[in-house]
Structure 1
């Protein structure tokens, strides 16, 4: 009987000890983003269409505000997109950095372009021009996700920049001569007239001499 009591006490101690053993707790899942973005040209304005979904099963994300962040070298530009909806998703469109539209929605300002004295001038990477080429773009809200966004190219129907007029010819310039002297200036026409008159006069003289020679050969002998 004594042996039975001792064995029972030992089993009880073993069971109690097993309850105190450490165990690995379940690790929380880090939040992530499913994001996409593409730049398109609409009515001569560069737009970015985006779609962002937060995957956060354990509620670890600390914010619901989403931004599109452009980086290039030491340059950085944050473009706010808005807050996630109740379904943890945000989708829409936003103008590219440094762009603007008029009341009709037509492009009226573009990154890297500046209006000076009534004319548009390409200022390179100034005025957010650096965002057009070579910028690294991410969607950020904690966490972040990289997206491939390139400034939209020009198409036959849409130009994501100012439509520049061809330069006007200088008043004192002389156009290139065309067929039959078309487009020639007065001096060019005068010079051409002199150059053309010389061979014409020479030809006329040769023709007259030829006729005289033929007439002389045909004159009957007396």
Structure 2
């Protein structure tokens, strides 16, 4: 009787030990039994929805930008924005400024290679001035930016997009052609008269000369 009781107790102990081991195994199995535990995920900052576009204003090429950073978990380590243009081995970085309290920034910057003096555009990318001060095409002065280039907006996250130079049909395509000076313009500069006045004046002179000839002829006849 005593032996049977001891055997029953041993079996019960083994069953209890097995259950405890199984429970321990379940607790260490984070895949099948998380027991209410939810993993914490972090959303990284993003510039999705930001833009940079080539625009033409009063004959000058500009880059108009609109930045919006999404950073719900405050993972961004910088709020200073730059715009880098790339094409082949060429690269140019343009500082844009600092995002505001809403993580936004918008504005415009003059296209690399362009120049404005007193509000008037005097130089365009792909153009330069010769020794005589005349605008002539060149492979320098950021000529590589004309067309489509890769633009990278960088804060802490970055966004890559395509930036296009204002189209050839716009006033920013090339410098305006210099006004040609004609012979008539030269005459006007000297006389200050309009073109129709010139033939009238010539005709009047002929009439006066003819009248003087007739008067001399009459005097000779009387003599």
TM-score (norm 1): 0.62
Deviation at 1:30, TM superposition (A): 3.8
Segments of 5+ residues of structure 2 without an aligned counterpart are 1-7, 32-37, 184-223
Q: How many residues are aligned here?
A: 167
Deviation at 1:128, TM superposition (A): 0.8
Q: Which has the higher contact order (CA 8 A, sep 6+)?
A: 1
CA distance in 2, matches of 1:118, 1:50: 33
Deviation at 1:31, TM superposition (A): 3.2
- Out of 131, 148, 152, the residue aligned to residue 134 of structure 1 is 148
> Per-residue displacement from partner, 1:46-100 (whole Å, max 9, x unpaired)?
1111111122334333322222211111111111111222212211111111222
Deviation at 1:7, TM superposition (A): 4.1
Say if 2:76 is the partner of 1:68: no
Segments of 5+ residues of structure 1 without an aligned counterpart are 171-222
Query: RMSD across aligned C-alpha pairs, in angstroms?
Result: 3.0
TM-score (norm 2): 0.62
Say if 2:47 is the partner of 1:33: yes
* SS at structure 2 position matched to 1:17: helix
> Per-residue displacement from partner, 1:159-218 (whole Å, max 9, x unpaired)?
454323145579xxxxxxxxxxxxxxxxxxxxxxxxxxxxxxxxxxxxxxxxxxxxxxxx
CA distance in 2, matches of 1:74, 1:142: 24
CA distance in 1, matches of 2:150, 2:135: 27
Give the alignment of 1:182-201 within 5 angstroms.
none
Contact 2:124–2:172, Cα closer than 8 Å, also in 1: no
Corresponding residue for residue 164 of structure 1 = 177
* SS at structure 2 position matched to 1:39: strand
Say if 2:116 is the partner of 1:108: no
